[in-house]
Amino acid sequence: MGVRGARAAGAVLVLAAVLPAAGCGGDGDAGDSGKDRTTAAVEAARAYQQAQLDMDWEAACEAITDRLRRHDWEADTIAECVAVRGVPRINDAPGARVTTGKPIDLPAYGPHPAGIGLRASLGPIGNGVTINTAHRVVPGEDGTWLIDQSVNLPEGTDTEAVRKALTRK
């Protein structure tokens, strides 16, 4: 992982690495481990969205699954993904911030594994617009959590809108 990627994703990787070591990785009971699993997924989605806001394309590309990088961005490597996504924005978004909605459990759907779904919002950007996106966050290797699916939410931002967006054909 590059220096820029480590900076943005460091907190998520530390949290995700600590959870399995603390017995919160997923094979235990559904009590506290579910909460820690959800917390790790939410933090991964927040870090991904923040990397996009910061235009830290290396961190953003490292925060997604290989499947998403290849399918949506047609990039086989992190370097190719950075090159594709590294197009400068037309306008800055001073004062924009990342917020997230309530996480929900999602079953596997099509090529996407089971995971956590949630809304991540970025805004306000240009003319007070807020961008709402549904993310499917799935367990990766070594206890990390990665974005496997991102779908714009043009209508509604509640958990039902997130579920529908992430299971739409």
The domains of the chain, with CATH numbers, are 3-166 (3.10.450)
- What's the residue count for the chain? 169
Q: What is the mean pLDDT of residues 8-15?
A: 31
**Higher per-residue pLDDT: 23 or 97:** 97
Over the stretch 100-128, which tens digit does the pLDDT of each residue have?
999 999 999 999 999 999 999 988 887 88
Q: Supply the pLDDT for residue 94.
A: 73
How far apart CA 79 and CA 124 sit, in angstroms, is 29
Tabulate helix, strand, coil % of the chain (nearest 5): 45, 25, 35
Question: What DSSP letter does each residue of 78-101 carry, written as one string?
Answer: HHHHHHHH-PPPSS--TT-EEEE-
Mean per-residue pLDDT over the chain, rounded? 79
User: Does the pLDDT of residue 32 top 50, yes or no?
Assistant: no
Planar angle of CA 60, 132, 147, nearest 5 degrees = 35
**Higher per-residue pLDDT: 138 or 142:** 138
Q: What is the pTM of this model?
A: 0.74
Residue 75: C-alpha distances to residues 60, 69, 84, 107 (Å): 13, 6, 8, 26
User: Does the pLDDT of residue 135 top 50, yes or no?
Assistant: yes
Over the stretch 56-97, which tens digit does the pLDDT of each residue have?
999 999 999 999 999 888 899 999 999 988 776 655 667 788
CB 120 within 8 Å of CB 135: yes
